[in-house]
C-alpha cells in the first residue's frame, strides 16, 4: 500500500541507494538527481519505514514511556512534556500504563524495551535491582525515582517538604500528620524522610498515618485516622489524596482550614478548583517530561556518559486550605 524506497527509485529512474542518500544525506547526490528523487518521493507520498531503518541503524526513532496511572492527572502532565519534546526531535512515543501494578510494569518494560531506542520510566514501582538490570541492556531514564546513578530527573522532595513544614510551623502548627502514598513508592519515602528532618528542624511533631492508595479514595480512607491523631495540619502524599481528605472532612463537617489545615503535593489542575483551594507544592511536571527526553536523547548520542540526576525544585503555592491552628 504505502510506497517503498523501490517505488521511488523506479519512478525517479535511479537505484534505491541513491534514493536513500538523496533523502538522508543530500550533499552526497547530484542536485539534479536529488530534485528528481524528491519530486518522485512526494508524488508517491513516500515516508520511510522506520522499522526497516531501525533494523540496520539500531535506531528506530521510537521511545517508550511507562507510568503507573494515567487517571492520576500528575502523569498526563509528564506525558505532555515528553510528547512535546519527542515530537520536536521527530521521535514517536509508546505509552504504557501499568495500573500501579508492579508485575504489569515489569512485563510492559520488558516488552517495550526491545522495540524502542530508550525508555523513560516515570515513578516506577519495581525494585532497584530490577531497574538496574533493565538499564544494563537498554538506555533508561528514570523520572521521579532515584536508583544509584541511573540517569534520572527528580523533584527535590526534601526541599519541598521543608517548605511545607516551614509554612505550617510559621502558622503555629505543632502537630502535623503525614498521609503517605503506596509503600513501594520512592517518592512517598523521600517525602516522608524530608518531613521527618524538616519537622525535627522546626521542632514540630510528625505523625505518620501510614500508606494509602495515591487517589481520591486514599484520601477519603485516611481522613478519619488523620482526625483521630489530633493533628492540626496534614500533609498528603499528593493532591488527589489531599482532595479526598478535603471531601471526607467536609462530609464530617470538619471545617478546612479552620479545624485542620491541608497541604497537597503536585499542583494538578484540579487543586486550584477544590474547595477550599488547595495549598500545595507545585512540581514542574511537564518540564520533567521534557528534560527526560532531552536526557534520553543525549544518552542515545553518547552512551558512555553517566550524567548526574537532574533535580527540579518545587515551590509552595499557598492557597486557601491552610491557616493558623485553632487554639
Partner DNA sequence: CAGGGTGTTGCAATCGCTTGCAGACTCGGC
Partner DNA sequence: GCCGAGTCTGCAAGCGATTGCAACACCCTG
**Cα separations (Å) of 212 from 29, 208, 216, 217, 259?**
62, 11, 10, 9, 22
By CB under 7 A, is residue 17 in contact with DNA? yes
Nearer of residues 12 and 106 to DNA, judged by Cβ: 12
For residue 257, the minimal CB distance to a second copy (Å) is: 15
CA distance 110 to 108: 5
Closest to a second copy by CB, 198 vs 242, is 242
Burial class from Cβ neighbours inside 10 Å (0-12, 13-18, 19+) for residue 17 reads exposed
Q: Which does 193 bind (CB under 5 to 8 A by kind): a second copy, DNA, none?
A: none
CA–CA gap between residue 324 and residue 233 (Å, rounded): 9
CA 185 – CA 144 distance, rounded (Å)? 10
Stretch that binds a second copy, among 88-96, 120-128, 151-159, 174-182 (CB under 8 A): 88-96
Instruction: Tell me the three cell numbers of residue 41.
Output: 518521493
Binding to a second copy (CB under 8 A): which residues in 25-84? 45, 47-52, 54-55, 60, 62, 70-71, 73, 75-77, 79-80, 83-84
- Does 16 contact DNA by CB under 7 A? yes
Q: Is 252 in the site for a second copy (CB under 8 A)?
A: no
Residue 89 binds to a second copy (criterion: CB under 8 A) = no
User: Of 155, 186, 216, 237, which one interacts with a second copy (CB under 8 A)?
Assistant: 216
Would the CA dihedral through 206, 209, 210, 213 be positive or negative?
A: negative
Q: Binding of a second copy at residue 317 (CB under 8 A)?
A: no
Q: Is 193 an interacting residue with respect to DNA (CB under 7 A)?
A: no
Cα 134–chain centre separation: 18
Q: Least distance from C-beta 293 to DNA, angstroms?
A: 22
Query: Which of 6, 59, 110, 258 is in the footprint of a second copy by CB under 8 A?
Result: 110
Q: Which of 212, 210, 214, 242 is nearest to 229 (CA)?
A: 210
The entry of a second copy, DNA, none that residue 196 binds, CB within 5 to 8 Å by partner kind: none
In this structure, the number of other CB atoms found within 10 A of the CB of residue 230 comes to 11
Residue linked to cell 515513578: 123
Q: Which residues contact 147 (CB under 8 A, 6 or more apart)?
A: 128, 131, 132, 135
95 in contact with a second copy (CB under 8 A): yes
H helical segments located in the chain: 5-12, 16-24, 31-43, 50-57, 74-88, 102-113, 128-137, 157-171, 186-202, 216-229, 239-251, 270-273, 285-301
Nearest alpha-carbon partner for 59 in 48, 71, 68, 50? 50
Which residue stretch of 8-16, 143-151, 180-188, 269-277 sits at the interface with a second copy (rule: CB under 8 A)?
269-277
Question: Residue numbers of the site for DNA (CB under 7 A)?
Answer: 4-6, 13-18, 20-21, 23-25, 27-34, 46, 48-49, 52-53, 55-57
Question: Residue numbers of the site for a second copy (CB under 8 A)?
Answer: 1-2, 45, 47-52, 54-55, 60, 62, 70-71, 73, 75-77, 79-80, 83-84, 87, 90, 92-97, 99, 104, 108, 110-115, 137-138, 216, 243, 247, 269-270, 273-275
Amino acid at each position: 500500500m504505502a510506497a517503498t524506497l523501490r517505488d521511488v527509485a523506479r519512478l525517479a529512474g535511479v537505484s534505491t541507494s541513491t534514493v536513500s542518500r538523496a533523502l538522508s544525506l543530500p550533499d552526497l547526490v547530484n542536485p539534479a538527481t536529488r530534485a528528481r528523487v524528491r519530486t518522485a518521493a512526494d508524488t508517491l507520498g513516500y515516508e520511510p519505514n522506520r522499522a526497516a531503518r531501525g533494523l540496520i541503524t539500531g535506531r528506530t526513532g521510537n521511545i517508550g514511556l511507562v507510568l503507573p496511572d494515567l487517571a492520576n492527572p500528575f502523569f498526563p502532565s509528564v506525558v505532555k512534556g515528553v510528547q512535546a519534546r519527542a515530537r520536536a526531535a521527530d521521535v514517536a512515543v509508546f505509552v504504557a500504563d501499568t495500573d500501579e501494578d508492579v508485575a504489569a510494569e515489569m512485563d510492559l518494560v520488558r516488552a517495550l524495551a526491545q522495540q524502542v531506542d530508550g525508555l523513560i520510566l516515570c515513578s516506577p514501582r519495581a525494585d532497584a535491582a530490577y531497574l538496574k538490570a533493565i538499564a544494563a541492556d537498554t538506555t533508561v531514564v528514570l523520572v521521579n525515582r532515584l536508583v544509584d546513578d541511573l540517569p534520572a530527573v527528580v523533584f527535590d522532595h526534601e526541599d519541598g517538604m521543608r517548605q511545607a513544614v516551614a509554612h505550617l510551623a510559621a502558622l503555629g502548627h505543632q502537630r502535623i500528620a503525614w498521609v503517605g502514598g503506596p509503600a513501594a513508592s520512592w517518592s512517598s519515602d523521600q517525602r516522608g524522610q524530608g518531613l521527618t528532618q524538616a519537622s525535627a528542624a522546626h521542632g514540630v511533631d510528625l505523625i505518620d498515618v501510614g500508606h494509602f492508595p495515591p487517589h481520591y479514595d486514599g484520601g477519603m480512607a485516611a481522613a478519619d485516622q488523620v482526625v483521630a491523631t489530633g493533628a492540626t495540619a496534614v500533609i498528603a502524599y499528593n493532591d488527589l489524596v489531599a482532595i479526598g481528605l478535603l471531601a471526607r472532612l467536609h462530609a464530617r463537617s470538619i471545617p478546612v482550614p479552620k479545624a485542620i489545615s491541608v497541604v497537597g503535593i503536585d499542583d494538578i489542575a484540579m487543586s486550584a478548583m477544590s474547595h477550599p483551594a488547595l495549598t500545595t507544592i507545585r512540581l514542574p511536571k511537564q518540564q520533567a517530561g521534557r528534560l527526560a527526553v532531552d536526557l534520553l536523547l543525549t544518552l542515545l548520542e553518547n552512551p558512555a556518559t553517566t550524567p548526574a540526576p537532574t533535580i527540579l525544585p518545587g515551590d509552595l503555592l499557598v492557597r486557601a486550605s491552610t491557616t493558623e491552628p485553632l487554639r
